[in-house]
Amino acid sequence: MADAIRVILSVIIPPVGVFLQVGLGLHFWLNILLTILGYIPGLVHAIWIIAKK
């Protein structure tokens, strides 16, 4: 259930889902950079991080 909430939040704002999964680590900052460069790369990275853990 928690993963579903993270995925929904990631669709709205990708860094939020990553933050809830890993905190303020490298993946969070990488996701912010990817989201700034384009919404889709940030979204794909967020879903990948959530699915991986």
Q: What is the mean pLDDT of residues 2-7?
A: 90
Higher pLDDT, 53 or 39: 39
| pLDDT of 2 strictly over 90 | no
Q: What is the DSSP string of 7-23?
A: HHHHHH-HHHHHHHHH-
**pLDDT digit string (tens) for 14-49?**
999 999 999 999 999 999 999 999 999 999 999 999
Dist CA 13 CA 6 (whole Å): 10
Dist CA 10 CA 43 (whole Å): 6
What pTM was computed for the model? 0.90
Q: Which residue has the tokens 């969070």?
A: 28
DSSP state, residue 38: -
| pLDDT of 3 strictly over 90 | no
